């Protein structure tokens, strides 16, 4: 994209976040809901399709551009990004990576405009870190597929118009090769959405269980068409790699906010007649957080560049997600410490962000799973 246009887009998003979202962050946390006018504004701006290719109605940002945009989005409650996170990210990428041309032409413009909200239905109660063990199954019956099973922690499921459900279609082949993906529209008979999960943080970002009891979808809803059967797992892994850099960028945005909150508090808050920022032990914590932030930001920028170049699409995304999610955890912890008692009080931003940040080390691959991906990839290369 033209550099001047992209810079204008970043300015617009930054202004929007400062003017419209930051003033209602506490309200979003308390009511567990993003106000409708903010949701509508994000659709009108084009935030629902920034990662969807231009030819399908999106903005077609490269990973490097997306990372810079997500730095801005991370500056406020993660609930904002979560609304359109599945359309741009894991769910949208199911169609981008695995869909037929016809599926792309039908679904991607709907996702890019926000007319349709989609969810990514991979995780199950006993298949989270290792989704290849999922037990949701589907069998073909003439021109339809019949899907049964249960999904857990499905982001945006309570408001989803379509859920992209991963199900085992061939139990006879090795675990990762017998999985396919299906587009399951809202209201399909046998589809039940569970109550909203009551989470520690990230209020306003909704998730829930999804139950499928003999849900029938037409064969045209098999992602990738006839060629898509059995390729669901490979598609899911590619979607997750892209999403990991996205989440890492989000962590960097939040770390920037936490640093800003920490510095401004340390400059204002007085003890013994002096701002607490005058004390070296506070200065040490601020310096550690700023250094963490710089390292995370530089890592995201470099990993996104390598991802765009195609030179590192596995280890880089995992290492970056691993580092940045752990990094923002440390920065959030220090931010609460710098705030002292106030940092433990509801209504103070860093208290809320401390709870929000905890999820980053868990979802879209725990830190431990990232460690395995990183180490196993290198060891496999060495064994060749």
Partner 1 sequence: MNIVVTVKQVPDTWAEKKLDPTTRTTDRKSVDNVMNEMDEYGVEEALKIKEAHGGEVTVVTMGPEKALETVRKALSMGADKAVHITDEALAGSDALQTSAALAKVIATLSPDIVITAAEASDARGGVLGALLAEHLGFPQLTQARKVTVDPGAGTVRIERQADNGYLLVEAATPVVVGVVEKINQPRYPSFKGIMAAKKKPLTTLSVADAGLDPGTVGLANAASTVLDAQPAPPRQSGTIVKDEGDGGTRVADFLAAQKLI
* Cβ at position 68, least distance to partner 1 in Å: 13
Whole-number Å distance between alpha carbons of 120 and 111: 13
Residue 1 touching partner 1 (CB under 8 A): yes
Count of residues touching partner 1 (by CB under 8 A): 16
- Range in contact with partner 1 (rule: CB under 8 A) among 8-16, 23-31, 151-159, 360-368: 8-16
Query: Considering beta carbons, is residue 12 or 192 the nearer one to partner 1?
Result: 12
* Cβ at position 57, least distance to partner 1 in Å: 9
Query: Considering beta carbons, is residue 44 or 214 the nearer one to partner 1?
Result: 44
Q: Which of the residues 27, 30, 364, 381 is marked catalytic?
A: 364
Which tokens hold the place of 45? 């701006």
Q: Which residues contact 11 (CB under 8 A, 6 or more apart)?
A: none
The only residue of 3, 5, 142, 383 in contact with partner 1, by rule CB under 8 A: 5
Q: Which residues contact 85 (CB under 8 A, 6 or more apart)?
A: 155, 156, 246
Query: Considering beta carbons, is residue 46 or 277 the nearer one to partner 1?
Result: 46
* Cβ at position 343, least distance to partner 1 in Å: 28
Q: Which of 215, 206, 209, 210 is nearest to 148 (CA)?
A: 215
Question: Which is it for the CA torsion 287, 291, 293, 297, positive or negative?
Answer: positive
Query: Considering beta carbons, is residue 87 or 169 the nearer one to partner 1?
Result: 87
* Cβ at position 11, least distance to partner 1 in Å: 9
Whole-number Å distance between alpha carbons of 14 and 353: 18
Whole-number Å distance between alpha carbons of 121 and 86: 11
Whole-number Å distance between alpha carbons of 332 and 260: 11
Whole-number Å distance between alpha carbons of 128 and 152: 9
* Cβ at position 227, least distance to partner 1 in Å: 33
Whole-number Cα distances in Å, 298 to 94, 237, 304, 383? 28, 24, 10, 31
Site for partner 1 in 358-377 (CB under 8 A): none
CA dihedral 289, 251, 235, 169 (to 10 degrees): 110
Residue 226 touching partner 1 (CB under 8 A): no
Query: Considering beta carbons, is residue 47 or 299 the nearer one to partner 1?
Result: 47
DSSP state of 49: S
- Range in contact with partner 1 (rule: CB under 8 A) among 9-17, 180-188, 190-198, 238-246: 9-17
Query: Considering beta carbons, is residue 45 or 295 the nearer one to partner 1?
Result: 45
- Range in contact with partner 1 (rule: CB under 8 A) among 3-11, 70-78, 213-221, 287-295: 3-11
Whole-number Cα distances in Å, 177 to 86, 121, 184, 345? 24, 17, 21, 49
**Strand, helix or coil at 139?**
strand
Question: Which is it for the CA torsion 221, 148, 200, 34, positive or negative?
Answer: positive
Do residues 296 and 252 lie in contact, with contact meaning Cβ atoms separated by under 8 Å?
yes
* Cβ at position 283, least distance to partner 1 in Å: 28
Residue 2 touching partner 1 (CB under 8 A): yes
* Cβ at position 21, least distance to partner 1 in Å: 11
Site for partner 1 in 163-182 (CB under 8 A): none
* Cβ at position 49, least distance to partner 1 in Å: 9
Whole-number Å distance between alpha carbons of 326 and 27: 27
Query: Considering beta carbons, is residue 58 or 178 the nearer one to partner 1?
Result: 58
The only residue of 8, 55, 141, 214 in contact with partner 1, by rule CB under 8 A: 8
Q: Strand pairing partners for 147?
A: 138, 215
Question: Which is it for the CA torsion 329, 331, 336, 340, positive or negative?
Answer: positive
Query: Considering beta carbons, is residue 52 or 122 the nearer one to partner 1?
Result: 52
**364 catalytic, yes or no?**
yes
Q: Strand pairing partners for 168?
A: 137, 179
Site for partner 1 in 11-70 (CB under 8 A): 12, 15-16, 37, 41, 44-47, 50, 59
Query: What is the binding site for partner 1 (CB under 8 A)?
Result: 1-2, 5, 8-9, 12, 15-16, 37, 41, 44-47, 50, 59
| Catalytic annotation, residues | 364
């Amino acid at each position: 994209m033209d550099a001047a246009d992209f810079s204008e887009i970043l300015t617009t998003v930054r202004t929007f976040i400062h003017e419209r979202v930051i003033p209602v962050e506490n309200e979003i946390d308390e009511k567990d809901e993003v106000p409708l006018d903010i949701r509508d504004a994000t659709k009108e701006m084009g935030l629902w399709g920034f990662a969807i290719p231009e030819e399908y109605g999106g903005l077609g940002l490269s990973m490097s551009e997306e990372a810079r945009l997500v730095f801005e989005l991370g500056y406020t409650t993660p609930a904002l990004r979560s609304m359109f996170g599945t359309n741009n990210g894991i769910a949208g990428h199911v169609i981008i990576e695995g869909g037929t041309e016809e599926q792309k032409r039908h679904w991607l413009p709907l996702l890019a405009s926000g007319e349709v909200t989609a969810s990514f239905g991979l995780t199950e109660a006993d298949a989270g870190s290792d989704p290849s063990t999922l037990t949701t199954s589907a069998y073909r019956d003439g021109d339809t597929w019949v899907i049964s099973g249960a999904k857990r922690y499905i982001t945006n499921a309570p408001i989803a118009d379509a859920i992209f459900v991963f199900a085992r279609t061939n139990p006879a082949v090795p675990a990762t090769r017998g999985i396919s993906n299906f587009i399951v529209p809202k209201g399909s008979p046998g589809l039940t959405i569970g109550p909203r999960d009551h989470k520690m943080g990230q209020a306003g970002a909704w998730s829930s269980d999804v139950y499928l009891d003999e849900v029938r979808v037409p064969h045209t809803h098999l992602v990738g068409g006839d060629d898509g059967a059995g390729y669901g797992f490979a598609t899911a892994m590619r979607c997750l790699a892209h999403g990991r850099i996205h989440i890492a960028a989000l962590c960097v945005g939040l770390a920037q906010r936490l640093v800003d909150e920490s510095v401004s508090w340390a400059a204002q808050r007085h003890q013994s007649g002096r701002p607490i920022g005058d004390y070296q032990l506070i200065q040490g914590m601020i310096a550690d957080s700023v250094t963490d932030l710089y390292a995370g930001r530089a890592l995201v920028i470099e990993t996104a560049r390598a991802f765009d170049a195609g030179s590192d699409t596995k280890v880089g995304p995992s290492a970056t997600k691993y580092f940045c999610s752990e990094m923002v955890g440390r920065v959030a912890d220090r931010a609460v410490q710098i705030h002292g008692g106030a940092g433990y009080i509801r209504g103070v931003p860093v208290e809320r962000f401390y709870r929000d940040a905890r999820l980053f080390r868990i979802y879209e691959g725990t830190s431990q799973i990232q460690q395995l991906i990183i180490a196993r990839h290198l060891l496999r290369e060495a064994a060749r």
